[in-house]
Amino acid sequence: MEKITTSSFYKYIELENPEEFQENLLEYCIKLELKGKVLVAKEGINGTVSGNQKQIEEFEKHLLSFKDFKDIMFKRTETESHPYRKTHVRLRNEIVTSKFGIKTEKVGKHLTPENLKELYDKKDDFIILDARNNYEAKIGKFKNAVTSPIKYFRDFPKTIKDLEKYKNKKIVMYCTAGVRCEKASALLIANGFEDVNQLQGGIVNFINKFPDTYFEGRCFMFDDRISIATGSNTKDIAICEKCHNPSGNYINCKNAKCNKLMIMCEGCNEEWKDTCSKFCRNLSNN
């Protein structure tokens, strides 16, 4: 069976006519028979699409043909099936919901995966800061990462006070593919943090180049995959909520009214039939 290729991308740039761009891009994606989710806003574009390799190459070539996106970065992964079941290209107020009320004109310096690996290799003094939500970091994070207790990215400003102790330190921020770090790093700089950096292309870009190195566990994904391995020897750092053995397997409870996100190993998941409790299992069996 042919592998499915996914391509993730974003760019902050002021679009002159986001409505027209959204309509045309949706039409193009449908014509190309791609699946995925793309958000278009006045501030730019953010999305993930999937298809066979030829389809993805055509899509990337198409997006690069626009002057606004001639230098956009694509991060690819391979999977057995489409991460999204449908094709969505939607108009939004923001390409990642933050409500920070801050522009991305002054952001953290972009560090390549090579730059970050060198910092680790040389054991440099730096703070590696996870800009993602707590449940994402629970199953995977960079070595020695400072993680946040937030459930939603819009709550990131609430962490600023706790981060004050790192104000004069070298900070390297990261997220899944980079889009959240643009806003989060801009927020830190606006609050007086001096040496703010961000990982270019995020976790996905790093593990594509340096699997099985400094990222520990699995990488959470906001699609049907839920998470991806970060190398050929990915070790689980989280614990199954049922048997308490190591696991990085997230499930959503099968009971639609519950839909609880929880870590459950494959063995327990088989026993509990994709549900989180006896109550939900009984409902699902009826």
Per the annotation, the verdict on 29 as an active-site residue is no
- The residue behind tokens 């730059």 is 115
> Where do the H-state alpha helices sit in 65-138?
113-121, 134-137
Q: Which residue has the tokens 């614990």?
A: 239
Q: pTM to 2 decimals?
A: 0.93
Q: Which residues in 21-166 belong to E strands, given as ranges?
A: 35-41, 44-51, 73-79, 87-91, 109-111, 127-130, 140-142
Q: Per residue in 66-115, pLDDT tens? A: 999 999 999 999 999 999 999 999 999 999 999 999 889 999 999 999 99
Catalytic residue among 29, 175, 219, 265: 175
Confidence at residue 189, expressed as pLDDT on a 0 to 100 scale: 98
Query: For position 222, what pLDDT does the model report?
Result: 95
Q: Can you tell me the mean pLDDT for 155-159?
A: 97
Q: Which two tokens stand for residue 18?
A: 């986001």
What domains, with CATH codes, occur in the chain? 4-91 (3.30.70.100), 109-217 (3.40.250.10), 238-285 (no CATH)
pLDDT at 284 over 80: no
The length of the chain, given as a count of residues: 286
pLDDT at residue 5 tops 90: yes
